Structure 1
Amino acid sequence: MSETTVVPEDTSTELHPPSEPDRPRRHRRRGRKAVIAVGVLAAVAGAAAAGLGFAGRDGSGGGSAAGLPPATADVTRQTLKDSQSEDGELGYGTASAAAGRVPGTLTRLPDAGERITRGEALYEVDDKPVTLMYGATPAYRDLKPGVEGADVGQLERNLKALGYSGFTVDDEYTDATADAIRRWQEDHGLDETGVVELGRVVFAPGAVRVDSLDAQEGAATGPGQKVLSYTGTAQVVSLELDTADQRLAKKGTKVAVELPDGTRVEGRVQDVSTVVDPGNGGDEEATTKVKVTVALDGAKAQKTAASYVLAAVHVFFTAGERKNVLTVPVAALVALPEGGFGVEVVRGSTTAYVPVETGLFANGRVEITGEGIAEGTKVGMPA
């Protein structure tokens, strides 16, 4: 459900939209989209062109007018907040696959949902561990004396974090690195070769949570055979937006996430990507969606959401906010014949059209500035 909130100036301007204690709760909801300024301005222009008010009521294009408008509204000073809510799914984000590289028999697999950290076995082949280490570069070759590269650097950083020493952390695999690897191999029951064979280590950005198993203990494994899938351990919210609402989700934007029990926690847009669904090639047309991942901010938010492994949630975006601005109802705008927009200012028994600049549109109101426009100024409204 789309929401556009107007917050009076003397109220809190914190991120979260006001709570709605009397609103019936539903498990899922999909609602109206927020007002888009371009569409509103087009509607105003169209109404004016149809004769709803190009100039002064005496046809002069300005100055005093003979008649008064059928209704008036006051210019108010307030905070405008353009906010919108979307349905999302609480979980652990996109899963990555761990494919076998070391040939043999799977002798131990973790449980789905199990958490594995640096230096622990992700699974075992022939009773020997395939170990998790942290890093952004996937393993793609044997690591041995004489090789250089980013994968060497991240291996050495892991060795140091696990308590091994005697080598320099850099991008070069030296004899000193090989000595440290031999000690690591001895500690894990591996052959003490000083070489890390391809597939003996799996690199992931951080600790992982086993999402699903794709093989069984006792099954044969080898290069390219999928063993399991894993995610990160921090909960995130996944959702889709229409392309028209992409303005809401800029990377780093703060949001509020409402959990199933009504509790709200803080979040931040972590990733935004555009995905095209080609359709079925028949009556179903191709569609474009914006996929958004929202991270829950901080340990408190993670702890609050911990009891929900997978759940439907609501994400509240704030597309724009203007504090302490002058506003009028959108319906008060009129298109001027010389271009741009204005409002019909009412003073006593006379009116005059005053050009204005428009700003944020929210909840049927629009921010305006113009000569002589002040809080309490009366402007004309349609019947």
Structure 2
Amino acid sequence: QTLTDSRTVDGDLGHGPSTTAVSRLPGTVTALPDTGAEITRGQQLFRVDDQSVTLMYGAMPAYRPLGPGTEGPDVQQLEENLAALGYAGFTVDDTYTGDTADAVARWQEDLGLPGTGRVDLGRVVFAADAVRVDSVTAELGDPVGPGSAVLSYTGIAKAVTVELETSEQRLATAGAEVTVTLPDGATTRGRIDEVSTRIVPGTGPEAQPTTTVEVVVGLPEQRAADAYTLASVDVTFTAAQRPDVLTVPVAALLALAEGGFGVEVVDEAAGTSRYVAVTTGLFADGRVEISGPGIAEGVTVGMPA
């Protein structure tokens, strides 16, 4: 038979985990997006003191001001965004040159900012791609400072979030395919995009924290989930599959005195039996793959009474 190590668990269909955007600038919140708004590269995320905080794409978060003479991957990330937004006249590399400053000044002036040619920390928020505003924490007129939460965002694409126990981590391999069953019973394929470990604090004074594995499943066929904004779904993970193997119930395995496992092979015609050492393979659904001399399809194997 084909032996499959799989598990179906509950998942939440939405837009994946949310990320909190904080202000790195001191001032007053003067503009905020609506919940559900989709924001792409170069667009305003929010405003502080009536000046725009802009979204750009990149994996590295902003952590310092950038200006002429600065070097590093964050400089290259900024330059890649400027080039994608149509600002030219500089070489995209890891060095912030005078030509970079000229392009930055033009970008600033287009946003109504002072054309200083330098990028203050907090003027840009980097995200992996376009974002969808999940919730807004701040209110218009709120004072903010470095570290003040303003809003949270997710990706735009629909995704499923699943929490597994640590003992089930074998099921979650980045890039692996899964099957997602929607509320109407229809199924669509999914792909594991992210796997991360989460430590959840205990709720009581003596409660111990628990560790879970958070899995984000992307949906290559986005239209399959168009009818749902938020929904509970079933996700079937397949950790391993062995086609056309010989299997017996796990309970048929015997621990041999010399070590390893065996099974009792029964000769029903002669009314005799003997113990045969076997090599075990995949365990799944209460059965185990076995092989070894004398093990073949149709052999009768003893089971404990």
TM-score (norm 1): 0.73
Q: Please name the residue that 2:167 is paired with.
A: 244
Q: Please name the residue that 2:65 is paired with.
A: 142
Q: 1:353 to 1:132 in 2, by over 3 A?
A: same
Aligned partners of 2:166 and 2:213 also within 8 Å: no
**Alpha-carbon distance in 1 for matches of 2:92, 2:31:** 32
Q: Please name the residue that 2:32 is paired with.
A: 109
Aligned partners of 2:165 and 2:211 also within 8 Å: yes
Q: Please name the residue that 2:154 is paired with.
A: 231
Offset at 1:326?
1.1
Letter in 2 for 1:325: V
Q: Please name the residue that 2:275 is paired with.
A: 353
Q: Does 1:271 align with 2:192?
A: no
Query: For 2:288, which of 346, 355, 366 is the aligned residue?
Result: 366
**Alpha-carbon distance in 2 for matches of 1:263, 1:345:** 44
**Alpha-carbon distance in 1 for matches of 2:81, 2:161:** 31
Identity %: 59
Letter in 1 for 2:300: K
- Secondary structure, counterpart of 2:121 in structure 1: coil
Aligned partners of 1:235 and 1:295 also within 8 Å: no
Q: Which moved more, 1:316-325 or 1:355-364?
A: 355-364
Aligned partners of 2:7 and 2:237 also within 8 Å: yes
Offset at 1:203?
1.4
Letter in 2 for 1:361: F
**Alpha-carbon distance in 1 for matches of 2:97, 2:44:** 25
Aligned partners of 1:335 and 1:341 also within 8 Å: yes
Offset at 1:142?
2.4
Q: Does 1:380 align with 2:299?
A: no
Aligned partners of 2:134 and 2:153 also within 8 Å: yes
- Secondary structure, counterpart of 2:243 in structure 1: strand
- Secondary structure, counterpart of 2:246 in structure 1: strand
Q: Does 1:295 align with 2:207?
A: no
Q: 1:294 to 1:140 in 2, by over 3 A?
A: closer
Aligned partners of 1:145 and 1:175 also within 8 Å: yes
Q: Please name the residue that 2:46 is paired with.
A: 123
Q: Please name the residue that 2:262 is paired with.
A: 342
**Residues paired across the two proteins, number:** 302
TM-score (norm 2): 0.90
Q: Which moved more, 1:241-250 or 1:334-343?
A: 334-343
Gaps of 5+ in 1: 1-77
Q: Which moved more, 1:331-340 or 1:263-272?
A: 331-340
Q: Please name the residue that 2:245 is paired with.
A: 325
Query: For 1:308, which of 219, 222, 228 is the aligned residue?
Result: 228
Aligned partners of 2:41 and 2:130 also within 8 Å: yes
Letter in 2 for 1:306: D
Residue by residue, what CA displacement relative to the aligned partner does 1:281-340 show, whole Å, maximum 9, x if unpaired?
43x4x2533222222242x1x222233222211111112211111122333333333333
- Secondary structure, counterpart of 1:381 in structure 2: coil
Aligned partners of 1:133 and 1:203 also within 8 Å: yes
Q: Please name the residue that 1:100 is paired with.
A: 23
More strand by share: 2
Aligned partners of 1:93 and 1:293 also within 8 Å: no
Letter in 2 for 1:125: V
- Secondary structure, counterpart of 1:131 in structure 2: strand
Aligned partners of 1:98 and 1:227 also within 8 Å: yes
Coordinate RMSD, CA, aligned: 2.1
Structure with larger Rg: 1
Q: Which moved more, 1:354-363 or 1:338-347?
A: 338-347
Aligned partners of 1:249 and 1:272 also within 8 Å: no
- Secondary structure, counterpart of 1:155 in structure 2: helix
Gaps of 5+ in 2: none
Letter in 1 for 2:298: G
